Every structure is written in C-alpha cells, then in structure tokens.
A and B are shown apart, each in its own frame.
Chain A
Amino acid sequence: MPFFVMNNIFVYIEIEGGKVADVSLELLTKGRELASTLGVGLDAVVLGEGLAGIEKELAKYGADTVWVADDKTFAPFRTLPHTAVLCGLIEQEKPQIVLFGATCIGRDFAPRVSSALHSGLTADCTQLVIGDHKDARSGREYTDLLYQIRPAFGGNIIATIVNPDHRPQMATVREGVMRKEYAAEPGKGEVRAIDWQKFVRDSDLVVKILDREIEERKIDIKGAGIIVAGGYGMGSKENFRLVHELAEVLGGEVGASRAAVDAGFTGHERQVGQTGVTVRPKLYIACGISGQIQHTAGMDQSSMVISINSDPEAPICKIADYAITGDVCDIIPKMIKYYKQNSK
C-alpha cells in the first residue's frame, strides 16, 4: 500500500496577540479544499497558552480535529519546544500534508521540522493543488501528490515542486496569498490534547526570551480597497509624500516597491511583492514603479491597475488598465485636484 494516502492534512495554527493569525485561517480554508479533494480529514495543531475554546473558530474554517498543547512552555513562541512537539505529533499521527504560514514563526521552525523528519519543505507557495506525477527518471507513477507551486529565481520563474517519496509533504504560504472563507460545512472541531510532555526535553528549553517589544500591527495594506504605491521613480523621500497625499485623499493605503523601500523612501511594512505582502485591492495606483516581476507578483490580482510612469515601455504598462505617461510629480497633484473637484 502506498504510504499515508488516507492520512489527514495538518495545518499549524499560529497565535498572534492572543488571536488566531489570519494566515492560519487562510491555510485552513485551503486545507479544507485539499482534504475534500483527497477525501481525508483536516486537523488543526495549536501550541500556546490560554487556548480554551479556540476550537470553535477553527471549526468554522473546517477543522475536524483540533490538537492542542496548552502550556506556558509554548508562549511566546520558541523554536525548539515547538519543533519537538510538532515532530512528535507528526510521527504519531503521520499526516500526509502539513501546512505552515510563511511568517517569522513558520519560516523559523518549519525548516527544522523538515530537517528532523527528512522530508521536503517548499517555501512561500502561491498555489497548492492535488495532482498526479510520473518521475521522469524512474518512470514511477504517483497519484494525488501535493503540487507546491512557487515563484523562484527572484520571481522570474514559477516552479512546481513535488515531494514524491517522503512524508509529510510540507509547505509554507505567505499571509494574504490564499483566500480566507468559512467552510461550507463546519468541521467537527473535536479537541484532542497533545501529550506534549513526552516530546519536550530539557535541552529544548535552553534559549531564554529576555525581552519582547512586539507592536500590534498598525499598518495593514493587505486589507485596503485602494492602494497607492510608490517606486524608485518617485525620486526622493520628499517626493514620496505625494504618494501619501494621494492615498489620503482617496481613502487608500500607501504601498511601495522593494526599490523604494531599499532607497529609504518608506518602511518595509509597506512593501508589496514577492518579498513583501500580496495585495488584491479594487484599485492599485503604481507611481514611478517600473513593474519588475518581483513587484507585480504581489499586486497583479488587483481589480484595476493605473500606472504613472515616465517610460511608456515600462513593464508595469503591460498589466495596467490605464497607463499614464509623464512625470509623477506633475500627475499626482492633478489627480488630487480633479478628484476633489469632481467628488463634491
């Protein structure tokens, strides 16, 4: 019998400021879809402190089983105890797929789990699909593998990765990439306590957290309906203020390309693209952004794109609905002026 084919899908649930992180709910939504395709169950795995009742929310997103380790050992997050418990639980339950958020936490310990279990891990997937595979060298055929699809090589290629011979198949996914939706039929949300004491050793507790200054996320461009984004073509930090002015007038948020962030025009939390956040607003105005694939990978799902660029041949024009050719410092004030004039 091929191994693990009937086994469940695990989603690692991340707790952020006492709440379930959005990315984990997005993964449950995707996990539910994959589990239905495979005809298997969906398990949520939660490690933290004060988790009573958490299964209610997770069930709405389709979790059948909720594995819980509720102890101060697990909050705040530390690499080694989380790795030990997850490895122990995976060896005990043998899920066929494990999904993690590609966050500071998921990207920290998922590689350790993969290393300990000698199983492949694909980072920052943008699509997850079930499909068949034939190995070109051995000719061996596999059914119902997880296609882990991700951009690579700076976003210039899209690679489909499979993990034919090792289980579990593991992937991380960035926040905002998958849709978050209540399951059509809620999961059972049955709580099962993880017998974590048998997995965590004293040597897993050697790293001590001395201090944490975690700010609640204030800037949230992911949820914005309108994003005005500035690129290197804004020219200077002073000119970048125009981007803020337009965003404010239109009731939108400010985004930026990596080049603008690297040049110090604005902070990293506003970066859109492969190494920033993925957004899909109803309107995206790209100001002085050339449109390298690394950037467009994070915004090409926008309902409408307006580009403002001095170069009519800039790649951004290829995905724009409206391409305005000219100087950003001339055009943005005009947009503000005519918006105000016409909206009254």
Chain B
Amino acid sequence: MKNLKIVVLAKQVPDTRQVGKDAMTPEGTVNRAALPAIFNPEDLNALEMALSLKDRVGGATVHVLTMGPQRAADIIRDAMFRGADGGYLLSGREFAGSDTLATSYALSCALKKIGPDVIIAGRQAIDGDTAQVGPQVAEKLGLPQVTYAEQIVEIKEASLVIKRRLSGGVETVECPVPAVVTVNASAPECRPRNAKRVMKFKGALADSEVAAAPQSEAAQRIAGRPYLRIVEFPASAVDPDPQQLGLEGSPTKVKKIENVVFQAKEARRLTASDEEINSLMVELIASHTLG
C-alpha cells in the first residue's frame, strides 16, 4: 500500500472514571467542570494502531479528526506529540446537540473531504459508551467495518488482515480498504509523547485559535510553518445537509435526565472482631443464605 492516508477518529471526553465527591453539584447535576477533559482512552489505542500501521508502510500519514469545541484541539496537539502528522477540527454550533447518528453524519461529511484509505476509531467513548459512531460512519460512507480490532496482523496489497477480540475468543478477518476499523481497549497502549515532537508541535493551533489572536507571537509563528496548522472545518466547509446536523438531525431525544442517588438504607455495621464475624456466619447459615 503506497501513500496510505490514515485518519483516526477521536473525541475529547470528560473523565467519567474520575467521578469524585465534587463531581455532582449541590443541585444534583453533573459538574462537568470538576472532571478533567481527556483523550478518550480507546481512541488512544486507535491512534497507536494507526501509528504502528504507518511505521510498517512507507509514505503513510496519520491525521486525527475530531468534532468538538475549540478546546478539543488539545487532543489533536496531544496526538501530534505522540506521532500524528496533523489533524482536523470539525467545529461549529450547527453540530451542538448531536446524537450518535448526527455525529456520524457530520464526521462522514468531513471524511469525504479528506478522502482517507483507512479510518481507525476507538470502539467507544467513555462519556456515552454507545460504540455506535464507528459503524454508523462506515455505513454512511458505504465502507466495510472491522470492530473490536486488536491487531493488524498483515498488510496486503489492497486489504488488511485484522485480529478481532470477541467476548469469547478471537476472530481473524481480511477486509479490503478503504475501511473503518474500531479498536478495543485490549489493543496495545498508545506510545508516550515524544519530547522532540512536543517541542516541534506545541505551537500548533487550530484556525479559530489563530483568528482569535492573529497578531500573537504564536499565530505569527504558524505563518512560516504550515505543519503547525490544525485545519478547522466549520459546517459550511463540509457541505452537509443542514437537516441532518445537530439537534435537528438527531432522531433520538432526551426526554428526561435523573441523577443517580443512592437509596438510603441503614447497613448493619460490624467490626472485624472474631465474635461479630462468627455471629454473622451463623446468621447467614441459619437463614439459608449460605450453605
């Protein structure tokens, strides 16, 4: 495969694994500000698969495509520090309120502009856990898909041999490119940031970041260094059908949100003393809970 163009779909997500005491507001809603915004974990596995594919074929490039607000450019910079050649930020208020279908539609419009040979995404994002966007993008582009990928076993002339991790075992498939691949958390972890690349790419800016302060030193630096430009697509740049974007383009509607509250129930408190553990076991046996 020559000049393989690889695009990684990635998402900046609130770190829902770090939900602590301050994660809920006194009113009982999710306090997004208390959660750090991170590179979605399985998208990092996807980035690694893309970078290792690039390492194995000459002339390949890896770009990250993300949809999100301006600050989502952070994960594109992070990907560049780890080895990506650059990225695209799909950003605009038209995309607000998108469900998975509207998201996949927007991404597929951008992908038609980019024209990749291989699209690699994380299996799912930790803020939604739906695992829908990868397959939905594949369908919108009319491409075959390989989900739960763990390893690209072999690169052939016009196809990839990929090992998939299923719930009870593994399956090896051969899939022609172009194709969409979604990557499992069991795939190799992403390589760390490279110090030289951090120095080289730390000044990378998305177009709207440059436009916000065109006279700044950072913006001036980009003028002579095109590799520092993170290409930004507003909705108008990807020729979408506006009716399929954002809230309007989302068939699913959120009817109601409830915060999870533990039901107060008094636990019987026990200490680790021999007497108390003994009487607990006696009680459980007597009630036929045990034995």
Contact = CB atoms under 8 A, between A and B. Distances in A.
Q: Do A and B bind each other?
A: yes
Secondary structure call for the B interface: mixed
A317 B267 contact: yes
Given A111-B136, A207-B174, A293-B260, A343 B269 contact: no
A320 B128 CA distance: 28
B195 interface: no
A248 interface: no
Contacts of B130: 111, 123-124
B172 A324 contact: no
Contacts of A331: 272, 277
Contact of A321 (B24, B254, B268): B268
Interface in A322-339: 322-327, 330-331, 334-335, 338-339
A111 B268 contact: no
A80 B144 contact: yes
B259 A154 contact: no
A91 interface: no
Contacts of A162: 252-253, 255
A160 B19 contact: no
A159 B251 contact: no
Contacts of A103: 167
Range of interface residues on A (Cβ < 8 Å): 35 or more
B221 interface: no
A306 B287 CA distance: 15
B184 to A, nearest CB: 10
Contacts of B260: 151, 155-158, 293, 297
B15 to A, nearest CB: 9
A104 interface: yes
A339 B136 contact: no
B264 A318 contact: yes
Nearest to B137: A115
B101 A114 contact: yes
B272 A325 contact: yes
A211 B171 CA distance: 6
Contacts of A166: 251
Contacts of B38: none
Range of interface residues on B (Cβ < 8 Å): 35 or more
Interface string A281-310: 011000000001100110000001011000
Nearest to B272: A326
A99 B182 CA distance: 23
A80 B260 CA distance: 38
B280 to A, nearest CB: 7
Contact of B271 (A153, A156, A317, A326): A326
B147 A211 contact: no
A323 B278 CA distance: 15
Contacts of B146: 207
A151 B130 CA distance: 11
Nearest to A212: B171
Q: Which 5 A-B pairs have the closest CB atoms?
A: A154-B16, A326-B272, A120-B251, A120-B252, A115-B139
Interface of A: 76, 79-80, 83, 103-104, 107-112, 114-116, 118-124, 133, 135, 147-148, 151-166, 206-217, 226, 250, 269, 274-275, 282-283, 292-293, 296-297, 304, 306-307, 312, 315, 317-327, 330-331, 334-335, 338-339, 341-343
Given A154-B16, A250-B290, 5 more contacts: A154-B127, A210-B174, A217-B167, A283-B284, A324-B271
5 contacts: A153-B16, A154-B17, A157-B258, A325-B269, A343-B285
